[in-house]
Amino acid sequence: MNTSDAERLATVLKQLGYQETNNEKEADLIGVIACSVRQAAVDRIYGKLREWQLVKVKRPLITLLSGCVLPQDRKKFKDKFDLFIDINHLDHIATDLKNLAPEEKLALSDFFSIDPSYQSDYRAYVPIMTGCNKFCTYCAVPYTRGREMSRPSGQIIDEVKNLLSQGYKEIILLGQNVNSYGLDRKEEIKFPELLKKIDGLGKNFWLKFLTSHPYDMSDELIATMSKAQNLSHYLHLPVQSGSDAVLKKMNRHYTVAHYKKLIKKIREAIADIAISTDIIVGFPTETEVQFKETLKLVKEVGYNTAYFAQYSPRVGTAATKMFKDDVPKTTKKKRWQELNKLIGQQSLNFNKKLIGKTALVLIDQNEKIDKNYLNLGKLANYTTVKINTSKPLKIGGFVKVKITKALNWGVEGAIIKK
Ligand code: SAH
Ligand code: SF4
């Protein structure tokens, strides 16, 4: 989502006459696309601000803040940045910038109708909705991005059509809870229908979507997924905890039994699907027994990857009002490490099962090492693949490989001659 926000913001700035640079030293305008999900990311902004304050003493520099920012942080940062841009209202940027730099031209567009300056020429993030209505008690998103707002399907389809005609190989549909796409617009198609339409727009591309909420994962969606031609066999389905008591306090609206049933249905529909998840450890009042339930669930599901976070209280969310952040930092860290060790083993097991299989790899980077090249790419299910070759492989191109070896963080593959 941050990448997608940045791509759209870059377009608006370009419309205003700005040029992109990777060199902070020559920038006239510099900004942060913030993430407020955890405190650590917010703290990093202060570090950057101090750096830029020193630059401002020497030369003119406009600093900008956008992305996911909590109202409280917005107040705190108000005097420290020259501009705050609500990401859902990029149309304000032109007027706000005009006050600072009156010679600028006006550009008016809303977030969704902006043609983004894609950072990659083969992988594109396409937002289909923004905001969230779920109000999980720990989460800042409903406060930073507001309520669910679906993008008109015609606009999404046009963007994807255009990307495919330019040769894009991977399309990632984005939303905090893509499964509730269209529910805020009576006349609009719903997510399974949207997925079906996008799947039908072309051949030989990878289609993915992020993120699904287990509560809204319908049978209709699972059936659509199993029939789709281009959909990667990969699903990110955050569970957050393996304890019903904790899930209830998190306001997740499902039980562990419901989640397990979902996983079963999904695997019955798509046998080789790779599933990943998000888990929070150390949610207020989480006991050792409840954490063990999470470990048990992770073992039972057999994820190929997972993202773990130590609970971090976000000002203004329900959890901070209802509970004390009472799990000690050391316990959170211990639980995090335990889960990390487990997922490392699961990941290796998953990777071992891939040995001997042939698969397409989308190449992301290569590097010359002695006389040969080390190429890194991804399988459709996001597994990293390492390929050694004598000539570099084309970045953004597909190659067919045979998986030869399992590693902790991915697999090794050898090119299959056509
Ligand atoms: N919409 C997505 C997640 C968005 S936030 C979903 O529902 O799954 C991404 C992840 O950050 C969450 O899945 C959660 O695991 C983590 N997270 C969110 N708020 C957090 C908090 N206060 N402390 C720790 N982790 C948090
Ligand atoms: Fe946050 Fe929950 Fe919404 Fe995900 S579903 S963005 S965790 S409130």
At 155-183, the pLDDT tens digits run 999 999 999 999 999 999 999 999 999 99
Give pLDDT tens digits for 13-49: 887 778 888 888 889 899 899 988 888 888 889 888 9
Locate the domains of the chain by residue range. Answer: 2-100, 120-232, 235-353, 358-415
Give pLDDT tens digits for 102-138: 554 444 456 777 778 888 999 999 999 999 999 999 9
Q: What residues line ligand 1, using a CB cutoff of 6 Å?
A: 37-38, 138-139, 141, 176-177, 211, 213, 238, 240, 278, 280, 309, 311-312, 314
Q: What architecture is domain 2-100?
A: 3-Layer(aba) Sandwich (3.40)
At 382, which helix (H) or strand (E)?
Answer: none
Of the bound ligands, which one is closest to the alpha carbon of residue 144?
2
Of the bound ligands, which one is closest to the alpha carbon of residue 212?
1
Question: Is the bond preceding residue 285 a cis peptide, omega within 30 degrees?
Answer: no
Query: Do 235-353 and 120-232 fall under one CATH topology?
Result: yes
Instruction: Using the atom order of ligand 2, give the atom closest to the CA of residue 133.
Output: 3
At 344, which helix (H) or strand (E)?
Answer: helix 329-352
- 92-96, 148-152, 208-212, 303-307: which has the minimum mean pLDDT? 92-96
Q: What architecture is domain 235-353?
A: 2-Layer Sandwich (3.30)
Give pLDDT tens digits for 367-405: 999 999 999 999 999 999 999 999 999 999 999 999 999
**Distance, CA 175 to ligand 2 centroid (Å)?**
10
* Structure-token pair, residue 24: 């902070």
CA dihedral 195, 200, 201, 202 (to 10 degrees): 120
Instruction: Using the atom order of ligand 2, give the atom closest to the CA of residue 177.
Output: 5
Give pLDDT tens digits for 232-281: 999 999 999 999 999 999 999 999 999 999 999 999 999 999 999 999 99
Q: Determine the pLDDT at residue 100.
A: 66
- What's the CATH code, domain 358-415? 2.40.50
Nearest to 206 by CA among 170, 259, 260: 170
What gap in Å lies between CA 98 and CA 323, rounded to an integer?
A: 45
CA atoms within 13 A on the CB side of 369: 10
Instruction: Using the atom order of ligand 2, give the atom closest to the CA of residue 240.
Output: 7
Phi, psi of 360 (to 5 degrees): -85, 140
Q: How many CB atoms lie within 10 A of CB 103?
A: 6
Instruction: Using the atom order of ligand 2, give the atom closest to the CA of residue 251.
Output: 2
pLDDT surpasses 60 at 67: yes
What gap in Å lies between CA 190 and CA 213, rounded to an integer?
A: 15
Q: What architecture is domain 120-232?
A: 2-Layer Sandwich (3.30)
Put simply, whether the predicted model's pTM sits higher than 0.85 gets the answer yes
SS3 call for 353: coil
Name the E strands within 273-346: 274-281, 305-310
What gap in Å lies between CA 261 and CA 214, rounded to an integer?
A: 10
Nearest to 173 by CA among 141, 189, 150: 150
